Structure 1
Amino acid sequence: MKLDPILTKAARYSRRGYYGKAIRLLEPEVLRYHDSHRFYYILAVSCLYSGDFGGAHTYFRRCRELKMQDSHTLLGLAALHVRRGETDRAVELYLEVLDLEAASTHPSKSAIRLAKRGLAVIRKYGEKEALSAWLETGALKKLYPPLPPLPRSIRSGLLFTFTAVLVIAALAGLGIYTELLPNPFPSLNRVARQGMESLILNDAELKSVVKTSGSFHYVLTQDQVLKSYERAKALFADFRDEAAKVEINRILESNASDAIKEKAKLLLSYTATPGFNTLKDTYSYLEVHKDPYLYRNVVVRWKGMAANVQQSDRSVAFDLLVGYDKKNILQGIVPVVLPFAAAINQDMPIEVLGSIVIQGDGTIALRGIAIHQAVALPQAEDQK
């Protein structure tokens, strides 16, 4: 299971019973994760366990669209049909789960157990009045599918940490662990980013740091180039990728040697794309407009209003009226292209997460990553 910081955080919230936090974290990212079954499953079960049955139904249906044969999705939908008294449909789904697991090379015992439990409940409380009385006891939760699992690497890390704590506690109890004993698990305190070892400048690169001829946006001394490069590495190591990109751009647009620029490009290739909740460093429109080449490919989040919206099946283009979300100050107009389909309401404020693009005439545009806007989510069927 691929480690995604937003989905991992949401799964943690959900597993700890903080369903509202998980929902608030994920719902603004609907457009970004529009094809992610795991995203919608976390949302669905969080809504289900929190009592938002309409939201649960909406998100479980989307899960079903993305992955037709997922037992946990079917169990979630079946539980909702039981709640609504639609026992015939619930029976169909429970039987489908049993068929899927019977054909699987790695059947899920928990899914089989839940499906059989659901069928037993329907057999025993099939009549409308009996089922209504059973639902009033709160026993429906016994039919809920499991909460989202954490990625295996997270579970392994937690187990390792717990084991390490027990070992150290045991040593301390025996009088073996002292202040002189070094920390045997330094990696628990910090996480090294991949690629750092390949970013070290060799002797040849250190001997030729700047060029004396050419056309550049920034003319830097040898010390300034090296300081920018080391600062970019330090920011990258601290997971501040957008701030690191600013220093990388300073080098790429300067008189730095080709060898140094290649190392800067290598560092750029290691950076990760942030989301709304993981963006650490932000830059205003006015900062970027003042010196756009310093912010090429840097991800920003700007608020405003959308105008001149052009939609297709796979993309959306519009002009972002930056700063005009409160309709009193217009800082500038920035073209935006979203490489995915989205419904844009031109009458509502919008927040865009996107990377800076320098156009041919030197003006800036945004390549969209995600958007925030108060939009109506798909409506679930009427609840009984």
Structure 2
Amino acid sequence: MKSEIITKEAYKAFKKGSYVVVIQLLEKNITISNNPYDYFLLILSYLFTDKLMQAEAALRKALRQYPAYLPLLEIQAFLMLKSAKSKDEACTGYIDILKISPGNKQITKIIAKIQESADFEQFQKKAKLRDFIKVKAPRTIKTVSFRASRPTIHYKTVALIVIIIVLLITGIIFFPSPLAKLIQEKIELLFFHPALQTGEDLSQISLDGMHYDIIDKIQKVRTPEFYASNEACIQDFNQAKWLIKEGKENDAMILLNKIDASNANFRVKERVAFLKDFIHRNRERTVAKFSYRDVIQKPYLYKGINVKWQGKVANYKKKDGISFQLLINYSENRFDGIVEVFAPFNVQALDNGAIVTVEGIITNIVGQKIVIMQATNVEIKSE
């Protein structure tokens, strides 16, 4: 398509620093391409040529058409950082991105850098667009065909599966049982545990019979948690499985997060991921009695925990659901901390200043104090 060719040429010009050429190519192309990437590259080129008015106008228009396109949100967040009066205000745009993309490590690192900066004014002054936004090559936009078609057979995938099955059969027949068990273990991890369904399935996920160390005894990177022995790690893993079966998912998640933040072998952490997935898919979660102050003591332990907290609503927004800041345990202009809450549903009569009780899952914790929660229920406290 002609518009895709123009986009690629604009990217080549951008990489060479020919921003005027990029602007000439994309100002017309955005009207026909229906590609948010064109807006992204155009706005960056405006900024690099000090055309701030054009950049701001194009960004507003682009976000109206593509409100969830992350590169555009990154530009918006950076501009908010440059104009912010405080660290918390500078983080606002990036926190909005985490609400859409909770596991975004790049954004998490940016927020942590802002919060950890000793001199915010100097940090803000030295912040450069190139350091905060990475420009990748444009992806090819595939046209959608409405004709019925036969499913595509990926021959490499089929060949891989055949080889694995042959290895499994060969291992079981010709090799001693430990090797056969190891091969079978690999097959099960690849194909048979994508989604555990019941508590009985948990017994399939085990550290028994692993033919390598459970923990890395020589640490290259220091971890928040440390296991001195294989047995201690196995004990926590088995305890987490038992807690899940007992319906104590939050306590189990604490142990699983502990293992994830430790010197446990990456193969152990693969099994931890399966157990976490089992917990995440359980819609009937119990509520943990951890307070906000508990959470910020060791934040890495509490991701994925279901909590119920009370506070005052601030910065309420209603767009594709709701989002607001929850001032925890608010009383007479005092509160324990701020939680960024978002929910995919609306709450009637909710507005700034309301005292609410929010139940939800902690999806991320940035630095030591920015807690992000996906709400499952919001109750307005009657006066």
User: Higher Cα Rg: structure 1 or 2?
Assistant: 1
Tell me which interval the TM-score lies in, with the shorter structure as reference length: 0.3 to 0.5
How does the TM-score come out when normalised to structure 2? 0.43
How does the TM-score come out when normalised to structure 1? 0.43
